[in-house]
Amino acid sequence: MLRTALHLSHFAAMVVFALLVSIVLAGLARRTAAERIRYALWTLMMFLLVGVGIAWLMYPFSR
Amino acid sequence: MASEAPLTENSRKVNPARPIFIAFAAWVVPGLGHLLLKRWGRALIFFLAAGGLAVVGYGMRGEVFTPLSSDPFGALGFLADICAGVFYFLPRFLEASGPDISRAAGDYGTRFIAAAGIVNLLGVLDAYAIASRRRS
């Protein structure tokens, strides 16, 4: 049982989410291991860039 | 050469019940459908990804939607959550202190659990397509 809750920062939660989803997308979209690793890294980078970019754009409206 | 044609034709025939069984297995346990199809890599990917998302979501004290929700978003949330198969029923064992969506982490956890279901739905569709020879 998880007696204690996981305490992840917003960024860490985003990284974990992006990493796991990137691995799935790479597994579905590419056939070989090398292609999958390249695709997963590319997707992970895009997730993080777009996530941080949207956060940066929304920052002026956060208060 | 002429004798090979019927063999090839027979080898392409698919028992119509098999893809449905494979899809059901893939839904119950993420990755099991691919495991039965001997796609070890994808089986591991789907099990780790769907399981990882669900366990982290429960760890962040995310909420699991119940089937009897009067809210349309709750109903959609339930559809996403139930797609996670066995991981939908884990909070009874994993979330000792219950969900807490009063904090941002709990809200993120709710999204993680829904994402686990969506990821497994992709796995179910992929396993079904492979079993019915629509995808290699």
Asked if residue B11 is part of any domain, the answer here is no
Range of the domain at B35: 17-131
Distance separating alpha carbons of residues B18 and B33, to the nearest angstrom: 11
Tens-place pLDDT, residues B15-52: 888 999 999 999 999 999 999 999 999 999 999 999 99
Contact list, A23 vs chain B (CB under 8 Å): 45, 48-49
Asked if residue B6 is part of any domain, the answer here is no
Residue B85: which of B42, B23, B41, B26 has the closest Cα? Answer: B26
Tally of domains within chain B: 1
Asked if residue B136 is part of any domain, the answer here is no
Asked if residue B41 is part of any domain, the answer here is yes
Asked if residue B99 is part of any domain, the answer here is yes
Q: At what angle do helices B17-28 and B104-131 cross, to 10 degrees?
A: 160
Distance separating alpha carbons of residues B133 and B126, to the nearest angstrom: 10
Which residues between 62 and 91 in chain B have a beta carbon less than 8 angstroms from any beta carbon of chain A? none
Q: Do A24 and B45 touch (CB under 8 A)?
A: yes
Asked if residue B2 is part of any domain, the answer here is no
Complex ipTM value: 0.84
Asked if residue B52 is part of any domain, the answer here is yes
Asked if residue B1 is part of any domain, the answer here is no
Tens-place pLDDT, residues A1-60: 555 677 888 899 999 999 999 999 999 999 899 999 999 999 999 999 999 999 999 988
